[in-house]
Chain A
Amino acid sequence: MAAKDKHNEVFLEEAKELLAELETALLELEETPEDKDLIGRIFRAMHTIKGSGAMFGYDLVSKFTHEIETIFDLVRNGKMAVSKDLVNLTLQARDQIKFMLETPEMGTDELDKNTRIIDQLKGLVPAGAMAKPATSTSTAGSSTAPAASSGSIATYRIFFNPSRDIFRTGANPVQLLQELHSLGECTVVAQIQNLPFLEDLDPESSYTSWDILLTTDRGLNAIKDIFLFVQDDSELKIDVVDVIDPSQQVDYQPYTKKLGDILLERGDVSPEEVKQALSAQQRFGQILVGMGAVGSDKVASALAEQEHVRDVRDKRQKEESVMSVRVPAEKLDRLVDLVGELVTVQARFSQAAAEKQREQSSYLTIAEEIERLTAELRDNTMSIRMLPIGTTFSRFKRLVRDLSRDLGKEIELTTEGAETELDKTVIERLGDPLVHLIRNSIDHGIEDTAVRKAAGKPGQGTIHLAAVHSGANVLIRIADDGAGIDAEAVRTKAVENGIIAPTAELPEQELFALIFAPGFSTAKKVTNVSGRGVGMDVVKKAIDALRGTIDISSSRGRGTTITLKLPLTLAIIDGFLTKIDTEHFVFPLSLVEECIELPRGDRETADGRHLANVRGNLVPYVRLREQFMISGSMPDIEQIVITRVSDRRVGFVVDSVIGGHQTVIKNLGKFYHEIKGISGATILGDGTVALILDVPNLVRSAEYDAANTR
């Protein structure tokens, strides 16, 4: 049962990927309706969902998908054109398939919806086009050979014996063989047992027949087409001997079909003859020839088949293994854990080596070597978890398409940097915040077509989604060419909601940041898209949880750009290690700008105002000793670590600064989940625990405290 569940899970996982592929391909098809490759991709995705669905007991899914596939077969065969309606309905069908997979128990409403979609799709089929696929489907179904559908790669065994006077008809059998070569990998074995000796030979007759092995994804019909003009007078037999479905993630079984099996299958020998031959200890082919059971040419041909199929499979397997490696996320997580531990051990070793440096300098050399290796191992392992963000991007094409249609706006989504790689977890957790931001742009940002035209802008609005690497971070920009944020409206609303005081003077940047405050919305009307005042604060929280930051820039009438800055990975960061009394704290190095000293004298004259003068600029600071209620005596000179969060500089006072530290992030566990200001912990070289500071959160709570004590 457990194994069955596991397989089911794998199927659902694959179906999810196929549905994503289906959606992407459909959206692309809308842009380029003539693209045959896209139609092929769509067809293959549906075909695999149908096949695997039936295998795992999702009969409804399988039946429904079959209907859609039948219609798409018409498109594939050029009997039906791609239209907007077809794409719309197929997208709806795709959503239904998704729903059916998620909800195996379907209500009658949903079943009706299925029927409606199929009926509507059938309504698009041009008259007379439908008869053909029904026939072809039933032919495929009744085939005795392993089913080789379009899209799957099949190896065919073709026996071709042209009529003796084929030369006189002007046909050239060798040319037909060359055409077969153009379909795929082809092994041709000529058979000349009918070739007479020279005196009896009629040079204008054909005596050669052929056993051909062809591996192709073009399907049976493509092969039959080649023999179209000679088939009436020739002997032609086509069998499928092997099928590889490229969309299936299969562990290829090694090709083990024995020579005897092939000869038996071809009807060249009887089972008894095989049995008899097997009892002798000679090479099997030789034995059969020796027995006179089969001609040596037949054996050669069967051997060629064995070799051909084996080669094709080997080659295919090699190609696949080069293309991608599928690793369960669980194993990867474990690998990352291990690397984390290794990094910790390395740190301990380095520390030990440093202490023994005087006696054993070689110790240090080893430590350096381990350090280099560990760093490489870390980078390599992390790269396995990296995925291109493009998969997330393609999801938004559908969102923009559907939402803009619902709102009657014309919006185009353009993307850039889809190949930018980010940690798998970051990508997964980024999806929802991005949806919120894009929805917001569609609803509040881009104006109605008429308004845009009146403002002298093109009627179609644009949302540009871009990703780019920037050091240890990835920047994701969502830029629209809409109305921009009304700073005054934000201000009024913030005052109304008591977020800021009526007299507060805030620069535009800080005003914009207020839209991320809980319960904030400037939308004049509530639509089903956005404007309920939930969302932007959720976005902020999600991005914070990813240790990222959000920046907004907006220009009235010209548009808004939201920039998310995200770390490449969540597992290891470059940290900045500090100490207060006996406790260690780690700052994410990416947020640290500089350190300055805070002598006892300055501390006393500051009069409790917590402001430091940094080259003429006042920088507010937070005393972490007070924040975390650490007792003990303060050193004469403390250090202020100055960080930059959302374009604001805030200092944090610690006793001493230790320096850069490769920080393996460990979760604090459920009990400590709610602690504000701490995002995790790490284990130091000597085995003690250092807490990793959640700097943006500390800044926010300090601001909150300051506002309340004012």
Chain B
Amino acid sequence: MSLTAIQQDRISTIAIAGELTISVAEEFKAVLLEAFRGADEVFLKIGELDAMDLACLQVLCSAHRSAVRAGKKMTYASPPPVLFRSAVADAGYTRLNECPLNQDNSCLWQTMG
């Protein structure tokens, strides 16, 4: 997995590519926590993925919920790739349209484009 985070003017951009699975979930969580620490907004730049599993989906979902609770934003920098979308669909996350923390319609799974 390649995971890079840049922070500038309270905006973080996280670029992810490669394998987004349980083996990197812990690291992924740490990067996201760090990204939010000094920023109000986090952009996700998801590049070509080799794999994506439920563990990392949960990390992303949880990160978004935490951001909403803290009044921060988490959005895609560019439309995510097909493999990402199908992983979301396979896990039944696309139907999470009634998430209680989705009051600003910013749900990651509803805004994949």
Contact = CB atoms under 8 A, between A and B. Distances in A.
Interface of A: 167, 172-174, 177-178, 187-190, 192, 195-199, 201, 203-204, 206-208, 210, 212, 289, 295-297, 299-301, 304
Nearest to A207: B58
Contacts of B91: 174, 177, 188, 190, 208
A173 B26 contact: no
17 contacts: A167-B55, A174-B53, A188-B91, A189-B92, A189-B95, A192-B61, A192-B93, A195-B62, A196-B62, A198-B33, A198-B65, A203-B25, A203-B56, A206-B58, A296-B98, A297-B100, A300-B97
A642 B87 CA distance: 79
Most chain B Cβ neighbours within 10 Å, of A173, A198, A210: A198
A174 B54 contact: yes
A295 to B, nearest CB: 7
A274 B105 CA distance: 28
A300 B55 contact: no
Contacts of B92: 177, 188-190, 208, 210, 212
Contacts of B82: none
A189 B90 CA distance: 10
A168 to B, nearest CB: 9
B69 A197 contact: yes
B29 interface: yes
A5 B26 CA distance: 71
Contacts of A289: 98
B98 A297 contact: yes
A195 to B, nearest CB: 5
Interface string B85-105: 001001111011111100000
A304 B95 contact: yes
Residue among A188, A197, A203, A289 with max Cβ neighbours from chain B (10 Å): A203
Contact of B58 (A203, A210, A296, A304): A203
Contacts of A212: 92
Contacts of B26: 203-204
Contact of B33 (A190, A199, A295): A199
Contact of A206 (B29, B54, B93): B54
B66 A197 contact: yes
A190 B66 contact: no
Interface string B45-62: 000000001111011011
Give the interface centre of B28, B63, B92, B97 by most chain A CB atoms within 10 Å: B92
Interface of B: 22, 25-26, 28-29, 32-33, 36, 53-56, 58-59, 61-63, 65-66, 69, 87, 90-93, 95-100
Q: What are the 7 tightest A-B residue pairs by CB atom distance, in nearest-first order?
A: A188-B92, A203-B25, A296-B98, A300-B98, A190-B92, A198-B66, A189-B95
Contacts of B97: 300
A197 B62 CA distance: 5
A568 B65 CA distance: 72
Contacts of B98: 289, 295-297, 299-300
Given A204-B22, A206-B54, A177 B90 contact: yes
A205 to B, nearest CB: 8
Given A190-B92, A197-B65, A198-B63, 11 more contacts: A174-B90, A187-B95, A188-B91, A189-B92, A190-B93, A190-B95, A192-B93, A192-B96, A198-B33, A296-B100, A300-B97
Nearest to B91: A174
A178 B92 CA distance: 10
A187 B59 CA distance: 23
A208 B56 CA distance: 12
Given A174-B53, A197-B65, A203 B59 contact: yes
B30 to A, nearest CB: 9
Contacts of A174: 53-54, 87, 90-91
Contacts of B25: 203-204
Contacts of A195: 58, 61-62, 65
Nearest to A299: B98
A197 B58 CA distance: 10
A375 to B, nearest CB: 54
A207 B26 CA distance: 15
Contacts of B32: 198
A203 B55 contact: yes
A203 B29 contact: yes
B99 A297 contact: yes
Given A174-B53, A188-B92, A201 B99 contact: no
Nearest to B24: A203
Contact of B55 (A196, A204, A304): A204
A167 B57 CA distance: 13
B54 A201 contact: no
B11 to A, nearest CB: 18
Nearest to A168: B22
A207 B65 CA distance: 14
Nearest to B102: A296
B95 A201 contact: no
Contacts of B29: 198, 201, 203
Nearest to B97: A300
Given A208-B91, A297-B96, A172 B65 contact: no
B59 A201 contact: yes
Contacts of B56: 203
Contacts of A207: 58
B99 A198 contact: no
Contact of B54 (A173, A196, A295): A173
Contacts of A297: 96, 98-100
A173 B53 CA distance: 10
Given A199-B33, A203-B29, A300-B95, A208 B58 contact: yes
Contacts of A173: 54
Nearest to B95: A189
Nearest to B29: A203
Contacts of A189: 92, 95-96
A189 B62 CA distance: 17
A204 B59 CA distance: 10
A420 B56 CA distance: 60
A199 B66 contact: yes
Contacts of A299: 98
Given A174-B90, A177-B90, A187-B95, A201 B100 contact: no
A178 B56 CA distance: 18
